[in-house]
Amino acid sequence: DTGVSQDPRHKITKRGQNVTFRCDPISEHNRLYWYRQTLGQGPEFLTYFQNEAQLEKSRLLSDRFSAERPKGSFSTLEIQRTEQGDSAMYLCASSLARGSEQFFGPGTRLTVL
Amino acid sequence: QKEVEQNSGPLSVPEGAIASLNCTYSDRVSQSFFWYRQYSGKSPELIMSIYSNGDKEDGRFTAQLNKASQYVSLLIRDSQPSDSATYLCAVNGLNSNSGYALNFGKGTSLLVTP
């Protein structure tokens, strides 16, 4: 399977704990995006990487959120001190070029108790 | 705030009919337009992209773009029960430093009845 992969697929945590998600993009794609989706809403943009550089961050990305893409391949998204409002599906997407089609991974569903 | 608007539905069509899904967007400089299908509990799946005015056909799907009216639509011919899903319209979020992050509508729920 050469699509976008994400791990874990589900995560249940208690409020205040830290969580980390991983995304592996399509191998030839140098652009990687993180989105968050809550029930009944479309995905909302969080952050964007071109190779290892984080070039754009949404206002949604509070100080508790950090993302990295250290070698321009996989990416991690960490949420510190989780809150119940962080419960959502976290989606990763990758694309080949600016403005081109973005392909999504299966997502990580986070539940904060 | 750049917005993408879709009728939330549900849109119900009988099997074999044409389903018509509509989307309007507010940012006039948008250049890339996409339709994603999302089944309940799953991630969005790209089904169509369109970049210039007019129609683009791919199998049973036709995307239509009218930049002057800031309108994009998706037609699904010969609708099947397996087409029942939420359809998300996405528009590129163009700015000078953007990697073209997508702005999504809330989606239209489509139900195809046998």
B35-94: pLDDT as tens digits: 999 999 999 999 999 999 999 999 999 999 999 999 999 999 999 999 999 999 999 866
Reduce the secondary structure of A20-79 to three states and give it as a string: EEEEECCCCCCEEEEEEECCCCCCEEEEEEECCEEEEECCCCCCCEEEECCCCCCEEEEE
pLDDT band at residue B8 under the 50/70/90 scheme: confident
Percent of chain B with pLDDT over 90: 81
CA distance A69 to A50: 9
Residue B78 has a pLDDT of: 98
The minimal CB distance from A99 to the residues B31, B43, B106 is found for: B31
B97 CB within 8 Å of a chain A CB: yes
DSSP state of A16: T
A102–B34 CB contact, under 8 Å: yes
Minimum CA–CA partner of B92 in chain A: A99
Q: What is the pLDDT of residues B42-52, one digit of tens each?
A: 999 999 999 99
* CB-based burial label for A5 (10 Å; 0-12, 13-18, 19+): middle
Percent of chain A with pLDDT over 70: 99
Contact B10, B2 (CB under 8 A): no
B88–A42 CB contact, under 8 Å: yes
Q: What is the pLDDT of residues A52-99, one digit of tens each?
A: 999 888 888 889 999 999 988 999 999 999 999 999 999 999 999 877
Percent of chain A with pLDDT over 90: 85
Reduce the secondary structure of chain B to three states and give it as a string: CCCEEECCCCEEEECCCCEEEEEEECCCCCCCEEEEEECCCCCCEEEEEECCCEEEEECCEEEEEECCCCEEEEEECCCCHHHCEEEEEEEECCCCCCCCCEEECCCEEEEEEC
A106–B42 CB contact, under 8 Å: yes
CA distance A105 to A2: 11
Q: Looking at beta carbons, which residues of chain A come within 8 Å of B94?
A: 99
Contact A108, A89 (CB under 8 A): yes
